[in-house]
Each structure stands twice: as structure tokens, then as C-alpha cells.
Amino acid sequence: MQKLLRNFTFNPKNDILSGLTVALALVPEAVAFAFVAGIDPLVGLYGAFMMGLITAVFGGRPGMISGATGAMAVVMVHLIQKGNEVGVGLAVPIENLGLQWLFITLLFVGLIQISAGIFRLGKFVRLIPHSVMMGFVNGLAIVIFLSQLGLFKETINGEKQWMQGTDLWVMLGFVALTMAIMYLLPKITKKVPAALVAIIVVAAITIFGALDVSTVGSFIIDGGGNGLQGSLPTFQVQIFGLFDTLVGHWDLILSTALLLAAVGLIESLMTLNLIDDMTETRGSGNRECVAQGGANIVNGLFGGMGGCAMIGQSIINVNSGGRGRLSGIVAAIALLGFVLFGAPLIERIPIAALVGVMFMVVIGTFAWSSFRILHKIPLADAIVLITVSAVTVWQDLAIAVIVGVIMSALVFSWQSAIRIRARKRIKENGTKVYEIWGPLFFGSSQSFNSKFDYKNDPEFIEIDFIESKVGDHSGIEALQNVTNKYLSLGKKVTLTHLSPECKTILLKANPTLDKIIESSIEDPRYHVVTDLLDSEV
């Protein structure tokens, strides 16, 4: 019970204040990502509310924030555009058909993500190398920084142009003021979130000073929206016409669902891992998968954009003191309250204040230590770190992580392959012993085969695996190939010190190997780490 309460809120005041801060930062983000996807801003805002509330209550990481994200928006846009084209071309046109397709797709996204949690796939995020994680956060910081630069544009004669003259200097001044407050206030007191104080101060100056600056309201209108007021989007199409159009486009629906589910889970689990490191606590990846899936299903049913964990907002929340589930709940409910009741006031918040907050997030997110250690770590890790950062900026976070993991896996496989060794010695009875060192798997099987002198070896051969392990089918085939060559020459082979797992794999693949596996010799050095720990308790 005590643990449950601690997860809900460790410090109610901090959770509530940080939740309000996050809610303010969520508004322009959700609106911007809705524009990227080509849908109404309210769909993004209500989607952020539903994602945030459900994952805050049921997710695997207290203090983590979810909502509408850019990584998923760039995947959605093709589906929505295609659906709208199909809707216009029907004999009886269906308006916003792409949006209806998105809602249906989110149902499949949710089912896929819930399945990932049920089958406990969330644990695989722990296998992501540190170099990939560092490249990921560096790339993320750059992406957040670049995304804020677009807010330094204003609409003139229907076209977006960079701010110039007084408008630019005023914008930069308020950004700098916001950053200065966030930097200096924690040195004076940490009882209130610095980001929230900065937003209130800058908003008060612009409102009471009647300054003409870019605000949340002007940002929405410039993007083609009508403001924050509105009602929940619902299915307003001919239901039979909707499903008739799906018959020839299920491949697009399902492929988009798979991609959205993968992108959402990777970004969410990476965020969970990052917040774990920041708070020195541990969340549940599998529980987060289920919560994300449930939230996306609710979005599909009730007309939201869907989404996943938001790294920038999660960092704002944690840095502002939000460590419990209450902070995420407050952020979601406050966001809904802004839309339903406080829209006129929220629309007057200067964009400069929110940009300043995100710039501080960039500074806090970027792993500045990577510059110091780049020349000290192995070259392969340095290349992976830089590549992941670049791909994150060039493509998106999910692709960057996948690329980084693949590169790291290939490097590991290559290094393991070239490290396999075979020490040779002759026993007093004339038996030649090959002591294998290093893993035997697909990468090292060819090198393993080259270690043996089949024709010149004596009649009795012993292959000792006390410092090796057979890892996969390629390793089994390589071992069978070696033994068959010796047996074809009329020589006797014995395999010694195989681990129990290796014996099981080999005998399952070829039961006749039982004749050459030495089972009477116990390996005094082969233990599972957990066995050793258990024996010490």
C-alpha cells in the first residue's frame, strides 16, 4: 500500500505544479503535430489528453508523459492523405475519410502494443547499448532544437517568413528571459517549478504590457486552425461507405498500424529508459506497452490522434519535480481544462516562453559528456553514437534506434567471430586436445573449422569447450562438420566440458552425438551467475 501511494504521488505539491507546467507545454506541441499529420488541432489536443491520462494511471513509469508526437505524426500523414483522396473520388464523397481510417488504424495499433506487453517484449529495451542511448538523446536534443526554430516564423501575406527587426529581437528577448528564470530560480528556491514561473512572468509582461507578440492562439490560426474552442471529434461519415473503402486498402491500414505500433513502442520504451536513469528508479516496460496500447484504442474509439511517450515533456516533468502518477494525471486533466474552459487565456501565452522552456530541455537533454569521451571509447562505439544522432535528425527516433542496435550487433558479432581461439596440447596418452575459447556461432563457425588439422592429427581427439559455448544452429553445423571429418578418417572424437544448454541443443539437433559427448566430466568453472548468487545468500 505504501509503495502504491508513493507511485501515485511522493510530493503532491510538486506533482501538481509540474503537471500544470507540462500541460502548458503540451498545447503547442499537440497542435503542431496535428498540423504535421494534416488533421484538426483539436484531434491532437484531445488525443494528447486521452494518451496522457490513461498512461499516467496505468503506465509502467510514474512521472512519464504521453501525448501526440511528431514521430507518429509523420507516419500518419500518408494514410490520412490517401484516405482523403479515396473519399473525394467516391460516387458519394466521404469528407475526412483519412481521419476515419486513422481511428480504425489506431485500434490495430493498440492491439499490437498490448500484445507486445502480454508477450513481455518490453524487456528488450534493456538490450540497447549505451552508445545507442547516448546517440539517441543527442539526436533528440537536436530534433527538439530544430523543431523550435519554426516558431521564429510569422505569417505575412499568407506565407511563412522568418521574423525580422523588432519582432525578432522581442522574441529572442523573451526566450532569453525565460531561460534566465529557469536557470537562476532553482538557485534561490526549488519549491516551485522554474518553468511554470517563467511562463507566468513572460505571459504577464506581454499581456499587461499589451505587446504584440506571437501567441498560442496566433500560432493555431496561422496553421489553419480556429483556436482551442471546440467539441470532441466523432465519426460523422456514412458507416457503410467507410467500410466499403477499407476492402481494397486493408494492406495500407495494417502496414501503417504495424509501423505506428513499432515507432510508438520504441520511443516510449526509450523514454522510460531515459527517465529511469534520471530518477535512478526502474519502470516496467511491459506494463507501459499495455498502457500505450490501451490508450491508442481509446483514441481510436473516441476520435483522438493517438500517440506515445513524449521525451521533452517527460524531462520537463521530472526536472520540475513531478515523480508520481499524479503529475501525469494533472497534466492531462489540465490540458482538457484549458481546451474546455481556459482557451481564451491559454491562447494568450507567448510562444517565446514555451520556446525558452524547450531550449532549456535541449540543454538538459544533450549528453555534453559525449564530446569528452568520444576519443576515449572504442572507434566502433563512437561511429554508432554519431550515426544514431545523425539518423535521428535525418529520419526519426525509431529508425535511428533500430539502425544503432543493428550496427552494434554486427560489431559485436564481428568481434566475437575473430576472437575464437583453439589452444592445442598433447596428453601423455597421445590424445590431442583442442581447448576452444570464445563463442561458437554463425560469425565464428568458419574460423572454427579452420583450427583443426584433420589429416595429421593423432587417432584420438578431444575438443574441450570449458571456455566456449555453442550458440546457434550454425555452431551446431560447424561442430558436426568437424566431428564428421574426423570420423570419416577413422579417428575418435570426444567433446568435453559442454554446458547443459549446449548438450541439450546438440542432442536435439543430432541424437547420435551422445556417443562422443563426455558426460562424466563435471566442469568446475561453468556456472550461471544467478546460481553463484543463490549459493552466497
CA proximity to 20, closest of 345, 363, 362: 345
- Provide the pLDDT for residue 6: 67
Q: DSSP letter at 249?
A: -
* Digit-coded pLDDT (tens) for 168-227: 999 999 999 999 998 998 888 877 778 888 888 999 999 888 888 888 888 777 766 666
What's the pLDDT at 34?
A: 82
- Asked if 447 and 481 count as a contact pair (C-beta separation under 8 A), the reply is no
Instruction: Output the pLDDT for position 244.
Output: 60
Query: What pLDDT is stored for residue 238 in this prediction?
Result: 44
Residue 524 pLDDT: 44
Low-confidence ranges of the chain (pLDDT < 50): 235-240, 520-521, 523-537
Instruction: Give per-residue pLDDT as tens, 467-525.
Output: 888 878 888 888 888 988 998 899 999 988 887 877 887 888 778 778 788 754 454 44
Q: Name the grid cell of 452.
A: 583443426
| Domain locations along the chain | 9-372, 419-536
pLDDT for 157: 75
Residue type at 445 in one-letter notation = S
> What per-residue confidence (pLDDT) applies to 286?
92
The pLDDT of residue 535: 40
Which cell numbers in the block locate residue 489? 578418417
Core vs surface per residue 483-508: b (16+ CB within 10 A) or e: beebeeeebebbbbbbbeebbebbee
> What's the gap between Cα 84 and its chain centre?
30
Query: Phi/psi at 68 (nearest 5 deg)?
Result: -70, 130
Protein fold of 419-536 = Transcription Regulator spoIIAA (3.30.750)
Q: What is the pLDDT of residue 223?
A: 66
What pLDDT score was predicted for residue 506? 80
pLDDT of residue 226: 64
